[in-house]
Structure 1
Amino acid sequence: MEKYMDKILIFAEKVQSNNYLKAISNGLMGTLAINIIGSIALLLAVLPIDPWKDFIAYVGIAPYLLTAYSLTVGVLSLYAAFLIGYNLARNFKQSPLTGAIISLFCFLMMTPMLQLEAGSTLDSSWLGAQGLFTAMISSLVFTRIYCFLMARKITIKMPESVPLFVSETFAGLLPAIIVGALAMLVSFGFGFTSFTSFSGFVYSIIATPLQSLSSSVWSLLFIVLIQMILWFFGIHGSLVVGSFITALYLPMDVANMDALAAGAMNSDLPNILGQSFYNIFGGIGGAGATLSLIIVILVFSKSKQNRTIANLSAVPGLFTINEPIVFGLPLILNPIMMIPFILSPLVQILIAYFGIASGIFPRLSGVQVPFGTPVLINGFIAGGWQIAVLQIICILAACLLYFPFVKLLDKQQRDEEKANLHEEVATEPVS
């Protein structure tokens, strides 16, 4: 087992330090502000409260809220292409801004065109979630070619008397022209295929199968299981799997928001799972569902050490910050707490999934809730008061799972505290 775990840890460290995955992870994370702006705008536009609907219709702000959504989440792939190119170029020690501009141009070249009577224009439907995988792949490929050409000094050298910013601009000019020409050739070539475009190829061959895979709750459970095993061995599992979660599940959230913006009812939303589902239910209070652990310790534990740690961790835990309990108890490499620490988020995901799939609870709108939003409030924003109730059920389920292990740990801690107290009394000098 140790041999296999060593291999897993080595693989996880390589994934965490991989330049390409880091570029995707950091790039998609960089779209968070845009996602939240669009999510809030959509939430305000479709909020099912009649007085509010009448108010925004009266003042005429409803179309502007939907426009804000269309210019943020609706063109998410544009922002992703720019930011992934920026981060990849920076990872390879090249000009990040030039890399970002090239990445954005190449993505737009891969995007299908619509033929209109007045001419051709970009098909905007491919600028949202549908084009996200194209943005990731084209950004990595073309930005990497630019970085390769720059590293090989295939540049235009200017005299030393030329100002530095002019020299740097011309240095990247030739690689940019080569990469841009290559993107045009690729786009031209795919125009002769049955896919009609590179985006069509990526969506058919890569995106559709991956999204079919991600629509299964068992796939999400497997990803979270790997995350929790890494956490148990001291590696930040959430960072390792974060890029996979975003790439696979963010498009599902966007599809829900698009349907909501088009006037669909909650029951007609296409997806149960999504990045929002993972954020809301994939370990309430932080990795390992540690909010439940804190509750169990505060209610049932008699160990002074455990109660002190739980008291210090309670408020951060409400805001999904669980490092104090993870490293303070600790949960890392703690054999007693291994089973509930790993299994609790899996149990919460299963309860939430089947609760929503059965129709008892509504599907999540896909709205992106900012990290650090208090537990229950984040559920309310993501899907209404019913989702907050479902969170409470999940928290209680994890409490039941943690309870016997906390009692065992508590007994061990109290025995140690008593032993330490006897040692202190025995070593006190006699007056």
Structure 2
Amino acid sequence: MDNNKTIDRVLEFAAKFQANIYLDSISKGLMGTLPITMIGSIALLLAVLPIEPWTNFIASIGVTPYLLAASTVTTSCLSIYAAFLIGYRLAHHLQVDEIPGGLISLFAFFIATPLTEGALTMSYMGAQGLFTALIASLLATRIYAALMKCDALKIKMPPSVPGMIAATFSTMIPAILVGLIFIAIAVIFSYTPWGSFAEMIYSIVATPLMNVGGSIWSLVLIVLVQMILWFFGIHGSLVVGTVVSAVYMPMALENMELYAAGTPASELPHILGNTFYSLYAGIGGAGGTLSLLIVMFLFAKAKQNKELAKLAGIPGLFVINEPIVFGYPLILNPIMAIPFILTPIVQLLIPYFATVMGLIPPLTGVQVPFGLPVVINGFMGGGWTAALMQIIDIAVGCLIWFPFFKISDAQMYKEEMGESMEEIAEEYEEKAQKVQEA
């Protein structure tokens, strides 16, 4: 009974965590930046592709500066896009107009950043300003939504005025008040040792979180929580996705900005990042299930496992593992719990220590879209060394899954054989009965 209560509390906490509107707004807002980051990533790859004839060709026709510019106005300005999208998402949750919510959030982010000779500091438009964008967006949109609930602050237009114009006027006073509040915040912080709200956030919030997140054991803990939640049937990847995006994306983007500026991959400062997590934390999906599918395809005796390997194999290559997770099933399966939880952790540690030892360079931070086939996504995210590391990880995953799968498969095979013998006996009895009747 006590165990059931503990499990219920864990599930309840995870459900509340996943349903939190602020975390959901951050998660979906950052997810919404994916098209922009993909444009920048592809442009950067094309600009610095380590094939000399190619780089000479694009340089000779004058394309290189535009590819690098595409990277600059996307990944190096990611905080701008994130500020708008997070405000937009939170405004939707709070049931106020989304576009004003996004625009006010963007203004709050801009006014919170430090000024350099009267102009915005561009370094805060990218990875360095991402935490400021998150916090400023949430605060500005929350204040705006609270003010919008007050009818006395709304300018009401006559019924003859078009609805779009009337809606714009109704948001005017709340928007102005939010703007004045953040202008006041910016002025107050200009007299502090930090010099700006953004500098304070970067010093007190962003830097400690990135320092803690820079430890491999922090990421291992995140993956452990993720897999425990998966074991109980909760989509753990969604629950921890907000933390991974907020803490690890700035590290990847910083690597990417330095790489675009000419820093060699071997000298990039961060080993970890959201790209590192997406490429190695469970290859083929949570639990490293691509390895399980390979073992299942090669060694399964039970007919149901052979069929499942055929059905789930192609989706597994494209990092879609729900067919194997729920079809095997792995949820609440005590025999498979150890490899299900252990495999993605081992698959993280191998490339991490390989990078620490200098065997492979750090990832450049290029953002890889979800759904690319395994190994191809590794090549895009880190070149042939990352692709090779994924292959090694898959092989190690097969070794982890093999003994546990053999136990489970043998049990299923015995059950199938028992059912087959019963069917043969029933068929024999039916034939014997027909002969006697004849």
Fold agreement, TM-score > 0.5: yes
| Structure 1 runs not aligned, ≥5 long | none
Residue 61 of structure 2 corresponds to: 59
**Which letter maps to 2:250?**
P
After superposition, residues 352-363 of structure 1 pair within 5 angstroms as 352-363=351-362
Residue deviations 1:329-386, cap 9 Å, x none? Answer: 1111111111100110001001111111111112111101111111111111111111
Give 1:422 shift: 2.7
Residue 40 of structure 2 corresponds to: 38
1:228 aligned onto 2:230? no
1:6 aligned onto 2:8? yes
**Which letter maps to 1:207?**
A
Residue deviations 1:281-322, cap 9 Å, x none? Answer: 000000000000000011111111011111111111111000
Give the aligned length: 427
Residue 142 of structure 2 corresponds to: 144
Is the partner of 1:384 in helix, strand or coil? Answer: helix
Separation (CA, whole Å) in 1 of partners of 2:393 and 2:423: 43
Identity in percent: 56
Separation (CA, whole Å) in 2 of partners of 1:402 and 1:349: 16
Give 1:3 shift: 2.8
After superposition, residues 297-336 of structure 1 pair within 5 angstroms as 297-336=296-335
Separation (CA, whole Å) in 1 of partners of 2:146 and 2:56: 57
Task: Assess, with a 3 A threshold, how the Cα gap between structure 1 residues 426 and 157 changes in structure 2: closer, same or farther.
Answer: farther
Give 1:47 shift: 1.3
Is the partner of 2:99 in helix, strand or coil? Answer: helix
**Which letter maps to 2:56?**
D
Residue deviations 1:112-138, cap 9 Å, x none? Answer: 1111xxxx2111111000000000000
Separation (CA, whole Å) in 1 of partners of 2:17 and 2:156: 36
**Which letter maps to 2:378?**
G
Larger radius of gyration: 2
Give 1:424 shift: 2.6
**Which letter maps to 1:357?**
V
**Which letter maps to 2:145?**
C
Residue 92 of structure 1 corresponds to: 94
Residue 29 of structure 1 corresponds to: 31
After superposition, residues 388-427 of structure 1 pair within 5 angstroms as 388-427=387-426
Separation (CA, whole Å) in 1 of partners of 2:273 and 2:258: 14
Give 1:29 shift: 0.1
**Which letter maps to 2:70?**
A
**Which letter maps to 1:2?**
N
1:207 aligned onto 2:209? no
**Which letter maps to 2:59?**
A
CA-based RMSD? 1.0
TM-score (norm 2): 0.96
TM-score (norm 1): 0.97
Q: After the TM superposition, which segments of 4 or more aligned residues of structure 1 sit over 4 Å from their partners?
A: none
Query: 1:47 aligned to 46, 49, 66, which one?
Result: 49
Separation (CA, whole Å) in 1 of partners of 2:150 and 2:228: 41
Separation (CA, whole Å) in 2 of partners of 1:245 and 1:61: 34
Residue 72 of structure 1 corresponds to: 74
Larger displacement relative to structure 2 (48-57 or 80-89)? 48-57
Residue 296 of structure 1 corresponds to: 295
Is the partner of 1:369 in helix, strand or coil? Answer: coil
Give 1:157 shift: 1.9
Is the partner of 1:249 in helix, strand or coil? Answer: helix
Separation (CA, whole Å) in 2 of partners of 1:133 and 1:340: 35
Query: 2:126 aligned to 125, 128, 134, which one?
Result: 128
